[in-house]
Chain A
Amino acid sequence: MADPHAGRLEPRVIPVTPEFPVRWDVPEDEHMPWQFDPMHFPNPLPRWENELWCEMANKGMSPAFAGYEMPIRARGKIFNDYNYAAMFPVVPPEEMEAQGKKAEVALGAAMASMQERWEGEWLPEIKEHLAFWDACDLAALSPEQMLAQYDATLERTMRLWHLHFEIVVPAYAAMGLFDDLYKDLFEDQGAFSAIQLLGGFDNKTLETDRALWDLSRKATDKEVRQIVTTKASSQVVAALAGSAAGQALLSALNAYLADYGQRGPSLSVYEPSLIEDPSPMIKNLQDYIGQEGGDPRERLAAQAEERETGLAKAREQLAGYPEKVRGQFEFLLQAAQVGVVLSEDHGFWIDFQSTHRVRMVMVEVGRRLAEAGVVAEASDAFHLGMAEVRDALAALPEGDLQGLVAERKADIDRHRGVQPPMQLGTDYGPPPEDPLSRAFGKFFGTPPEPSNEEGNLNGHAGSPGKIQGTAKVVGALAEAEKLQQGDILVTGTTSPAWTPLFATAGAIVTDTGGILSHCAVVAREYRIPAVVGTGAATKRISDGQVLEVDGDNGTVRIVG
């Protein structure tokens, strides 16, 4: 076994720059490898949300790592309103390998039982937490009950994030290990042949999208189509409500939102969910109404067929291989096929359904604080810390935190303009060369090779195909209006609420992510080219430029 630490550099304290000042309030923190995560948290965050994601690392990731005997733990920390996380070893270097072996065994067992645990254990518990929130009439709670509900919400959300990592760690490990094994067995077959064997399974993201497609098929009435396709997305709901012919579609739209609208346009507790403000998805509905072909069911069936053809070919080639190879191939295939579905479904239930309910609790807290004049408006509560919110609730009707909120908001505005460094604290060199680190690299992406040609960008192969189109740089889902059929969607990252845009875009280029990232998974499902993890696409590319996207080689060429 190769020494995982071989060739690693001596730890190096990363110099702090004046543009991004850091004060080490806890001296030890300077020795931690703080990592910025632009895929999930690209922007400065309001305090409450920021603390939530820090706690997610502390109380979600760490116990999940511990449960799988992994030699690392995680911590979150806020620097200038940006969220950073550190993964750090908890065993001395000489015990790393032995502990790593234990983790391999524990994760192997977890991979074997993911489906069973999802159905029998994880999903029922998730649904129990959601039901707890749904059973509560927040507006009717007494002040004491509200405080208790707030405490219970924090406790339950941390439990859900613990489950989240209990699910995703073996799920991504299985996909990564399968990809590794496949590449060992079948060299030179391109970036996607392993991934293709995991495609074509239904999941909650696709189900959500299918429901929207089906909704678009209901807009058959001429007047209704007129309203939906010509009004600005923010005015469609009101226009439908004011039209007799629009009632049927409006009620179908509301039914859709009740089932699938409990999520924000990105992973955020601060931004309104679609059920509160559906305009980001109205744009998708408008695009779908204009499309004739493109039934998502046909895409899924085609993917499933490709998968089975590819699988039959792989099995035929492996027929003469030792049983240990065939056994491992089948084991990891099965686990990775479960993993790829869970990599979407966990997000539907935890990242979105549960986060929406946590948001609803905070919206009510904010309403109460605003009503008492503690903060100016309900959404200001998100600018308080978790403990500050609790204290403010307990002190009601007294209190005035308006000054504090104003300061925090000004800080965020100021920090929005700075570029957060990818790493802070101490650099321990690249992660060790082991299967798990490779798997996570395939999700988060690793820094791309710098391109040596002017006008070219390197990233990772995300979804196969090569296409030319007009670039549209979309920073937030609300800006997606400008995306026209066949345009190349250039963005930092995508979240499940963006999925229907993949039916409009000709290709996707992102700053962050690897071949297993959500964006790459969805692009393959939509059969459009994707280059992910370019690091700088949104900065280097401007609206209207013509791009050539080569999803097989992970390169983007700015043609003109």
Chain B
Amino acid sequence: MAALSETPLLEARGLTHAFGGLRAVDGVDLSLKRGEIHALIGPNGAGKTTLVSLLSGRLPLQGGLLRLEGEDISALPAEGRVRRGIAYTFQITSIFPRLPVFDNVALAAQSRGARDLPAAVAEALDRVGLADLTAQEAGSLSYGHQRLLELAMGLALHPKLLILDEPTQGLAAGEIARFTELVRSLVPGITVLLIEHNMEVVMALADCISVLNFGRLIAQGSPEQIRADAGVQAAYLGGEDAAG
């Protein structure tokens, strides 16, 4: 890694969380550089969702340390971390279905204290291509549009770090291609942590990949390095359909 001297945007040390006796995340170190797209992969049940919940604050840390731009945020609750610049988009679409699209995005924009709400909402919706649907009730949007709305809500927060949890799940092939382009256009303004099953998307987007298995980090590196890593192949790529 070239920029060792620069403080990483997010730095995690020894993150741990156990459910009962099961260590879902076991001493994970993770470091996200500013402006990169960092992918987190691993077989089902590897602890990806738990790890992301620890980063976003939806689960409390049982051990370890979390720093955002050098500042300790380990004890901050989820909403506090959002205000510091960590946005999270849900794996299962989570919007306000009975509110108009405008209000969904406005809630995000006003949370960071945007002065001009209509402008802030328009900016976020323009970016995902939903600008002409502002008045529609969010619940009446198609599934693909709801995923985009979810992303627009994340963007309207003007985050430093955007965590995308399985963003392409359930999307059609054409939608996935558009989504990939969209995510690529976010960097380097925003740092992206991408949790993704679709290896094509991961390989196309990621600057750096971390591989999780049984709650531990088993490899980290560029897409080429990960592709060549024997341990990863054994644990993951060989274990199940890589494209799935």
Do A and B associate with each other? no
Residues of A in contact with B (beta carbons under 8 Å apart): none
Residues of B in contact with A (beta carbons under 8 Å apart): none
